[in-house]
Amino acid sequence: MSRDVVIVGGGVVGLTTGVVLAERGWRVRVWTREAVEETTSSVAGALWWPYHIEPQVAARGWALESFAVYRELAADVPEAGVRMAEGVLGETSLDEVGWLAGTVPGLRAATPDEYAAGPGLWARLPLVDMAAYLPWLRGRLERAGGSVELCTVSDLAEADSAVVVNCAGLGARELAGDDGVRPVRGQLVVVENPGVEHWVVSDGADGSLTYFLPQPGRLLLGGTAEEGVWSRTPDPAVAEAIVRRCAALRPEIAGARVLGHRVGLRPAREAVRLERGVLGDGRVVVHHYGHGGAGVTVAWGCAREAAGMVEGG
């Protein structure tokens, strides 16, 4: 079989799959409707954590494999925009994260000074600056001989390659006829960082999601997880509520100057679709989408499994 593959979708999952295949000797072209810097992945807060993804067992395996990659990038490749950052997983106990044993050193209960809202877990996890990481990932793909092409696809059969990999995220609703993939809307507020050094993620008793993530030159405040909502327009009332919830945890956030607003639609599904099939003309297609809010978290582990399917596994 020709070692020629088109990957449809230029987000973090598509690019990572492209890198894995290109570095294994495949001729890779990534077709993306939007520039890499404008995909849903660019909006991600990008703290490593398997959020809103199923099946849980597989996702944890992919996440652990990816953790190892991000830890190496943080240590050795500063231009990738990955760092190991400390913070608090609110409303989380050591008993709930036994699957991290041996992978994440130094896990411990947060002190009241670190997290006054209640029980929490202090952790050191990969935090990815997507503004730096996505261009770096594209560059790594290109250095391995791959390419990224702006291209709107209405049918997977349009790909002129021996193998097609469908990493289209929400676009798989049309491209794969899969109504099971749905949006989970996330809204962020970007503010000047008033001196926050550690990230916090908190799940409120009312189901609200609150987090703040320090990134270079800014602080990302979140968030929302609105099932089935397609709007990409920031909601001012939602933005105010996000700032209010974050300020309840760190009061200095209340006066931080707002730099911008972001909205992204997570491509959620009952379970990640990762399977090999055939197109109508007999060519191989590998479906690889539905990663919810954990695309960055599982990208490397999941990409390696997808690449194995491309190669016949």
What is the full DSSP assignment across 115-177? -TTS-EEEEEEEEE-HHHHHHHHHHHHHHTT-EEEE---S-GGG--SSEEEE--GGGHHHHS-
180 is in an annotated binding site: no
C-alpha closest to that of 177 among 279, 30, 266: 279
Total domains, the chain = 1
> Domain limits at 60?
1-81+129-180+270-313
Q: Is the pLDDT of residue 185 over 90?
A: yes
Q: Is 145 annotated as a binding residue?
A: no
Residue 292, marked binder: yes
Question: With contact defined as beta carbons under 8 Å apart, do 51 and 175 qualify?
Answer: no
- Residue 229 inside a domain? The answer is no
**109 φ, ψ (degrees, to nearest 5):** -70, 135
Tell me, what CATH number does 76's domain have?
3.40.50.720
Q: Which two tokens stand for residue 239?
A: 């933005």
**297 annotated as belonging to a binding site for a ligand:** yes
Ligand-binding annotation for 294, yes or no, is: yes
Distance CA 201, CA 249 (A): 10
293 is in an annotated binding site: yes
Residue 191 falls inside a structural domain: no
Q: Is 207 annotated as a binding residue?
A: no
Query: Is 236 part of a structural domain of the chain?
Result: no
**54 belongs to a structural domain:** yes
- Is residue 285 in a domain? yes
Question: Does 192 fall in a domain?
Answer: no
Q: Is 40 annotated as a binding residue?
A: yes
Tens digits of per-residue pLDDT, 45-99?
999 999 989 999 999 999 999 999 999 999 999 999 999 999 999 999 999 999 9
3-class secondary-structure state, position 304: helix
Q: Which of 211, 30, 44 is nearest to 115 (CA)?
A: 211
∠ at Cα 126 (120, 128), nearest 5°? 120
CB 290 within 8 A of CB 267: yes
Would residue 264 count as lying in a domain? no
| Three-state secondary-structure class, residue 110 | coil
- Answer yes or no: is pLDDT of 106 > 90: no
Residue scoring higher pLDDT (1 or 210): 210
Domain assignment present for residue 133? The answer is yes
pLDDT in tens, 126-170: 999 999 999 999 999 999 999 999 999 999 999 999 999 999 999
Cα angle at 61 between 110 and 272, to 5 degrees? 110
